[in-house]
Structure 1
């Protein structure tokens, strides 16, 4: 079925939601051709949530090959947990879950609050500021570096490599950035073996279980934790601030009722998801969603952003509301690949937004919303900059 709205081009990057509305209505399982590959895009909440728990959807790209060629084909050289199936995924998640706990993430709240205040105090009292670069970008960098045990002197390089890795417009630079990131973390892990600290990398190294992470697994896990713990949280904070600045009524509600901040962050996650769609899945056999059969060996993309605006799940889905009774957004995925860092992202989002809107009541957008520019990524949904003005 034809879709009149543009996908992954033109106006889509600024506002993808009209296209998603049409997809959910007319073509919820939509076949598109992208870079010579057929991709099946799922957009309805029920389909996306079901697919996230469907064992027939794999992370192993070898399922796109004829059966006789799969065993001989090489696996991906980057063995990140998010690119694995059970039992490999199960083993790695079990090992990292023991140190990356919700309690440990919640215990970081006072430090996150302190860093938020320090960054706000460093902002100019008046004038124009790119709040994304000077605040939303910096806080997650500082937090994830402290959490992993990355020296403060290396934070800028660390953040720059992470940023370029997820930039799909520069694949060569992304590969180079990944190489630098892996080399740096490999050396850091060896240094932590000799001089452990209280960081997460040392905790992963020193886990007492007999089944420890290998060195390549430690490198891949550290890369994943960095990118997931930094990139997505930057976009949560940036998208959330933009939502408030373009909905002054909801900003006023939040300032008058600061206890609504946890609910507000959940709504930011739903309304403009920082992870737009999940990385590719592959069908191990024929599967059916919304009456459409996707052949085995196909490439499938799950649109979390489209699912989170599905009115069949969320009444008045296009509205930004902090009083929603319907839980269950899929901004952190669902099932096997549910985000390990969900609690940390929530803590950072709550503290960052609370601190800024409290300290700077005169903050306003410096440009009309239509002039804002977004990163062109199939995975993340984030602004390139967020210029605001402060008024004393």
Structure 2
């Protein structure tokens, strides 16, 4: 644990040391006090849970809700307008199940498998220019445009709007001040309203047109839920895959022996992807929860309305769950990671994310055999966010 405390003696672990290496800071907390009272950077109180057993239990505990209505003044995450906040990450129970059923069809096994050829086509079209130029920024030139194209096409988002959405999302996740955050959120909201209006006038075979039909013809969701669902799928589908590719590529470049083994035996790649999900997923914390009653977790007494933060990155490296947890081991078996969550809020897009990651890494290893860092690793910069651990850029040469 870091030495930072507020005037009440409550730990403030999310300092610059944490931002540089959250895994080391979380490991210390996991060993000393796996459920501990903390303050987040804005000063709000929360409980931080770092051990696999408690994180796994909390993810399935119905007494820990996502709906902000249960918050009693602690950390509550992004302050979003209702039109962006009526999504799966702020719903519980029957409301959550209803919205999940509406979205689930887009990410079922058949739909995902049907995207295989298109994902590979996009990945190869992005890798070719990197090879021709002898390198570039792997984030901007490959990791970001891959999911942006895939999710954009799935929802029927025009190219110009995709780029604008991605730019505004990057600002929203790491703003310099409240004014910049408010501007980014407002820009995202306007973009989605324009997109939905266009799809209402010109419906297509895309997913968003289907959701508009569910709203307008079947009355299975309201207008805020429609906008929020589009926002969540775009945001999560683009951001998470982008930074999994970035973080995962860096991890492979650090381990040339493993990379050579995967090139020699591509059948290993599926297991390597699971290890990268466990070790380098950008989301260090799950979406915040709120206690709907007084409860006990890991020996700590959590009061009604208090915020609970579940450190997925720590649980995924818990030595009580994983042998030699900080190492990529493609032969690891039988220990399910929590990269996509657990329980009723398990990530809907897990299948699509796995497909994109498998193809992204396979394409890099095949088409860019001499891939390496173009700068010393000490020069790489991470976004300043205590919620996620991801790269601003990844300069590579071929």
Return the TM-score normalized by structure 2: 0.90
- Counterpart in the other structure of 2:338: 330
Match of 2:385 in 1: 377
Distance 1:98 1:76 in 2: 25
After the TM superposition, which residues 213-232 of structure 1 pair with which residues of structure 2 at under 5 Å, given as runs? Answer: 213-232=221-240
Q: From 134, 137, 140, give the equivalent of 2:147.
A: 140
From 57, 63, 69, the counterpart of 2:64: 57
Q: 2:366 aligns with which of 353, 358, 363?
A: 358
Q: CA RMSD in A?
A: 2.0
- Residues 270 and 305, structure 1, Cα contact 8 Å, conserved in 2: yes
Residue 199 of structure 1, CA deviation: 1.1
Change (3 A) 1:214 1:100: farther
Give secondary structure in 1 for the equivalent of 2:70. Answer: helix
The alpha-carbon deviation at position 249 of structure 1 amounts to: 1.2
Residue 107 of structure 2 is matched in structure 1 by 100
C-alpha distance in structure 2 between counterparts of 1:145 and 1:307, whole Å: 32
Contact 1:147 1:200 in 2 (8 A): yes
Instruction: Give the structure 2 partner of residue 343 of structure 1.
Output: 351
Counterpart contact for 1:237–1:353, Cα < 8 Å: yes
Contact 1:165/1:177 (<8 A) preserved: yes
Q: Does 1:110 align with 2:117?
A: yes
Of residues 35, 52, 55, the one that matches 1:29 is 35
What CA distance in whole angstroms lies between the structure 1 residues aligned with 2:53 and 2:337? Answer: 11
1:300 aligned onto 2:305: no
Equivalent in the alignment of 2:281:
273
CA 142–21 in structure 1, closer or farther in 2 if over 3 Å, else same? same
Q: Given the superposition, is the C-alpha separation of residues 171 and 323 from structure 1 closer, same or farther in structure 2, using an over 3 Å criterion?
A: farther
Deviations 1:23-81 (A, max 9, x none): 11111001112323211100011111110110111123333449xxxxxxxx9562122
Which residue of 2 is the match for residue 257 of structure 1?
A: 265
Structure-to-structure mapping, 1:37-76, within 5 angstroms = 37-65=44-72
CA contact (8 A) 1:205 1:212 kept: no
Corresponding position of 1:69:
none
Stretches of 4+ moved more than 4 A in 1? 2-6
Structure 2, unmatched stretches of 5+, are 5-11, 74-80
Aligned residues: 381
CA shift for structure 1 position 321: 1.3
Residues 1:85 and 1:326: Cα distance change in structure 2 (over 3 Å): same
2:163 maps to 1:156: yes
Indicate conservation of the 8 Å contact 2:285/2:309, yes or no: yes
- 2:329 matched residue in structure 1: 321
Find the counterpart in structure 2 of residue 18 from structure 1: 24
For 1:226 and 1:234, locate their aligned partners in 2 and report how far apart those are by CA, in whole Å: 12
What do residues 147-191 of structure 1 show as CA deviations (whole Å, max 9, x unaligned)?
Answer: 110012322212212222222544432322222222221222122
Tell me the secondary structure at the aligned position of residue 340 of structure 1: coil
Q: Which stretch of the first structure deviates more once superposed, 164-173 or 295-304? A: 164-173
Q: Which runs of 5+ in 1 are unaligned?
A: 67-74
State the 1:127 CA deviation: 4.1
Pick closer, same or farther for the CA change 1:180–1:131 going to 2, 3 Å: same
CA shift digits 1:247-280 (9 cap, x unpaired): 1111111111111221111110101122211222
CA distance in 1, matches of 2:309, 2:176: 19
CA shift for structure 1 position 117: 0.6
SS of corresponding position for 2:46: strand
